[in-house]
Structure 1
Amino acid sequence: MANRVETYLIPVLFEALQEDRLVTVATVDGKSGGPAIHTISWIRAFDENTLRMAVDSRSRIVENLKHNSAVAIHLLANESAYTVFGTGTILTEKAAGVPVKTAIVEIHVSEIRDVMFYGSKIVSEPKHEKTYDEYAAKKLDEQVLEALKRGADT
C-alpha cells in the first residue's frame, strides 16, 4: 500500500527489526551539508517509537549526528519499502562488553512512510553474509546486540 504514513512502528515493522536486517541509513553530512548514505545491519526496534543501532565509533554516522540529529532509515519489509524518519542521539561512543569501539545510537521515530512505487511489491528481500570468521562474527553480533539492549547503560 504505497504512501501510507505512520508515526510509530506498526507491528510488522517492529517484528522485522528484531532480526538481522540490511538497512540504509541517511544522515546529513557534517562537512558538506549534503546527504550521506550508509549501510548497516546492527539495528533493532527497541519499542514502537525507538530504534537503536550500533556503528563503528569512527563512522561518519557518528560525526554527522553530532552536527545534525536528523536521520532516515530505509528498509525493505512486509513486501514493501519504508522510510523511517527520526532524530538520532548518540548514547555512547564506546559500548561496554564489545571488543571493538562501537557507538550506540538511539533514534526517536517521528514518521514512517511506505515509499514503494504504485502497483508493485518486494518479492525477495536482500540477504547478506559476514565475510570474516563465522564464530567471531556470531560472537561479535551477540555482544553488540546485548549492548543495544542496554543502550545508555553501556
Structure 2
Amino acid sequence: MREVQEQLHPLLYEHLQKERYVTISTVDVTGVPHVTAISWLVALSENRLAFAIDARSRLVQNIAKLPNAVVTVIFDGTTYAISGKVKIEQNQLDGIPIPLVKCVLEVTEVRDIMFYGSSMSSEPTFTKTYDAKKAEAIDSLVWNALRQQE
C-alpha cells in the first residue's frame, strides 16, 4: 500500500515549478463533482499551491461555497491527488488584461492514486492554439503574479 503524505515530496515540488497540465476537482454548487483542466499552477512551497482561473469559471462559485479541492497531477510514471482547502487570494490579478482570480490551495494530503500494477508511460502535453506572442506575454504576467506571496 502506498503511503499518504501531508506535503509535496521534493521531486513533485520541483515538477510544479513550470507550466503543467493538471486538473482541479471541486464540488459543484449543485452538489456533483466538477473537474476543470488548467495549466497556470505553481507550488509555492511543499504545503501551498497557487493557481489562476478565469473569474467567470464555475470553480470560483464552487470554492466560495465549499473550499475543498483536489489537484490531479501526472508525473514520474504515476498520478497524484493533492487535496486541501482553497482560498481566493485575489479577485483580479493586477496588470493582467483578462479577468483572472488567484487561488491558493493549502495542501493537507498527497496521495499516489495510480492503480496497482501500472505506470504512466508519458506525461500529458498540450499546445496553445491562440496567438503565441499574446500567450507568452500573458503567461509571463500570470506566472509573476502567482509567485508573489502575501
The match for 1:118 among 116, 119, 122 is 116
Alignment of 1:4-153 (within 5 A): 4-30=3-29, 32-152=30-150
Percent same amino acid among aligned pairs?
A: 37
TM-score by length of 1: 0.94
Letter in 1 for 2:68: A
Question: Residues of 2 paired with 1:88 and 1:53: CA distance?
Answer: 10
Count of residue correspondences: 150
Q: Which runs of 4+ in 1 moved over 4 A?
A: none
Structure 2 gaps of 5+ residues are none
Letter in 1 for 2:115: F
Structure 1 gaps of 5+ residues are none
Report SS of the residue matched to 1:116: coil
Give yes or no for contact 1:84–1:112 (8 Å, CA) kept in 2: yes
Report SS of the residue matched to 1:131: coil
- Provide, for residues 3-55 of structure 1, a one-character-per-residue CA deviation record: whole Å limited to 9, x for no partner: 3310001011101101110001000111x111111000000000000000000
Question: Residues of 2 paired with 1:92 and 1:69: CA distance?
Answer: 15
Report SS of the residue matched to 1:98: coil
Question: Residues of 1 paired with 2:124 and 2:113: CA distance?
Answer: 17
Question: Residues of 1 paired with 2:3 and 2:41: CA distance?
Answer: 23
- Provide, for residues 91-140 of structure 1, a one-character-per-residue CA deviation record: whole Å limited to 9, x for no partner: 01101021111100000000010001111111111100110011110111
CA RMSD of aligned residues (A): 1.0
Give yes or no for contact 1:27–1:61 (8 Å, CA) kept in 2: yes
